[in-house]
Amino acid sequence: MRSLLNFLLRIHFLLLFILIEIFSIALLVNNNNFHRAKFVNITREFAGNFYSKINNLKKYMTLSEENDRLAKENTRLLNILESTYKSDELFFRSINDTILNQRYRYTSARIVNNSIDRKHNFLTLNKGRLQGLKPEMAVVANESIVGIVKGVSDNYSTVISLLNTDLKVSAKIKKNGYYGSLGWDGRKYTFAILKDIPLHVNIQKGDTIITSGYSSIYPEGILIGYIDDFHEKSGSFYEIKVKLSTNFKNLSHVNVIGNLMQNEILTLEEETQNND
């Protein structure tokens, strides 16, 4: 103990200098927008690299299981290709939605970090600005909802998970088209809550819940889950418990969806609100 105290006494000037430096940097970052932005980008890139290393180690430890999953996925994709057509955009493909007059762009990414045990959960992907990702892009896995891109660095991006109490998604009942707001209540990672469905609507346990398409982010028809339970709320609406189709505890790869008409839609909506 005495040796430790003597050692600390010998280097106390160095320790004081380090503390002052940290305090100075904190003041600079908190009071300067330019330096704050640079600091956020640097930390995001560093965190992405760190999580990537950890994730690579985890992947190596579960290589056999991952190979089995990829084999099944390849079989599914081959069956789809055989029944439709061959395309030169397999790795970065575009899909026209003639009903909504929107064009969506899809690209794959790998998850390098994921959390499910907090109130505000996020994922980190191994692609960023240089690979075409940007904020407000939709993220799905196995054709089911995962979240929305929140921030990007050159080679990594963070995704606000559906398991985040701040995220709300426009969702509807597939069989009748009635829509409401779906969000996570911060409890079990396997369930979310759908609100604003009127009491006169005919619903049953097992009914399919999908994205409504009433936003510039998610296309219509992305699977969210199935009705597990429901009860009356506030006298006029149901509160519906939805069993999520996405297993957030077993995610490794995702698809990121970009709406090429997004800026046009947002600009038009903003102009309409300003003129109202």
* The pLDDT of residue 3: 76
* Mean pLDDT score across all residues of the chain: 81
Q: Tell me if 148 sits within 8 A of 159, measured CB to CB.
A: yes
Residue-wise pLDDT for 4-13, tens only, equals 777 667 776 7
Residue 121 to residue 128: CA distance in whole angstroms: 19
Check pLDDT > 70 for residue 121. yes
* The pLDDT of residue 145: 96
User: Confidence class of residue 270 from pLDDT cuts 50, 70 and 90?
Assistant: confident
Q: Tell me if 274 sits within 8 A of 91, measured CB to CB.
A: no
* Sign of the alpha-carbon dihedral angle for 136, 141, 144, 147: negative
Whole-Å CA distances, 216 to 29, 78, 141, 240: 33, 30, 19, 25
DSSP letters spanning 12-71: HHHHHHHHHHHHHHHHHHHH-HHHHHHHHHHHHHHHHHHHHHHHHHHHHHTHHHHHHHHH
Phi, psi (deg, nearest 5) at residue 214: -85, 50
- The more confidently predicted of residues 108 and 223 is 223
Q: Domain boundaries in the chain?
A: 2-58
* The pLDDT of residue 33: 63
* The pLDDT of residue 99: 43
Residue with tokens 């050159």: 154
Average pLDDT rounded to a whole number, residues 248-263: 86
pTM beyond 0.75: no
Residue-wise pLDDT for 62-84, tens only, equals 666 666 666 556 555 655 554 54
* The pLDDT of residue 63: 63
